[in-house]
Amino acid sequence: MTDEKQYTEKEAHYLFATSFRERTWDLLDQPNRTSEDDERMLSFAHASLAHWRFIGTAVRHQRGEWMLARVYAVLGKSDLAVEYARRCRSLLESEKSEMEDFDFAFGAEGLARAYAIAGDRPEALKYIAQAQQAGEAIANQDDRDAFFKEFNGGNWNGMK
């Protein structure tokens, strides 16, 4: 007899969503990624979102959209970064009651970064200011620190 755990469909999707999210972060944080790493990172981010959309809440869905916006921004694909950042923002606006304070800060950060990569200075500056303000309003100090670590890092195309 085997001791393997049997997972419900929902549990399996949750495990895949979190695993692919973590793999995406590992690659985002990895210096000197190869083009193969970039391709894997993008696949992992899409896979994570697919699993969240199957079983997750609106908050998980928008975080997956944000992750794709970040990955596309890091890869310099501004049109897709803007598209996924807008999708994240749309979910934030339509499902406000489910979101946490840091979700709004990251949503604005995603738009700011995407517009910065796209070279749209007015939009980037508008969302940089919104992200800064929303970040300062994050109640939990650890969450606020995590937000500003992300917000203050990375490529802003000289707009911040």
**For residues 43-69, average pLDDT:** 95
Q: Is it the case that residue 2 has pLDDT exceeding 80? A: no
Specify the amino acid at residue 43. S
At 24, is the pLDDT very low, low, confident or very high (cuts 50, 70, 90)?
Answer: very high
Instruction: Give residues with Cβ within 8 angstroms of 63, minimum separation 6.
Output: 52, 88, 103, 106
137 has a pLDDT exceeding 80: yes
* pLDDT band at 18; cut points 50, 70, 90: very high
Asked whether residue 157 carries a pLDDT value surpassing 90, the answer given is: no
> pTM for the complete prediction?
0.91
Q: Answer left, alpha or beta for residue 77, where phi above 0 means left and psi between -120 and 50 means alpha.
A: beta
Residues 6+ apart with CB under 8 A from 93: none
